[in-house]
Amino acid sequence: MTPKIVHTAVGILILIHGIMFFLGAGEMAHIGVPDISDEAFAMGEGAHEIVAMFNVFLAVVLLGSRNLEGTAATQVLKGTTVGLGLLTAGVAYHSQSLPAEMAPPVPAIAIFIGLTAWSGYVAWGKSEG
């Protein structure tokens, strides 16, 4: 396993997530709040679109990092691992704290744990050589 493979896989997954989040922003703003006001809907939809844009931004950075080599690639991957760890904590927290119809699905926790572990293994656990 190389950083390039992890950068590519995580970058593509984050890109897909960002696109889906953007396309579903309006629907997600209505979930759990059927009688939402127009102003609150616009706020919720806009917040989801901003989340989507951050996902696309991260995907561009990761996919752009695919051709880095050596220490540079490993450093980006270490940062990615820390970020994925924070995302995992957020997904776990929100899967428990939000109403069921608004919460991330429980399998999302397993996906983020797997991505974090894989990224961390390649960044720290694998000897270069």
Residue ranges of domains in the chain: 3-125
Other CB atoms within a 10 A radius of the CB of residue 5 amount to 12
Instruction: Give this prediction's pTM.
Output: 0.85
The pLDDT-based confidence of 128 (bands split at 50, 70, 90) is low
Q: How far apart are CA 67 and CA 80, in angstroms?
A: 15
Indicate the SS3 state at residue 32.
coil
Q: How far apart are CA 102 and CA 48, in angstroms?
A: 13
Residues 41-57: pLDDT tens digits? 899 899 999 999 999 99
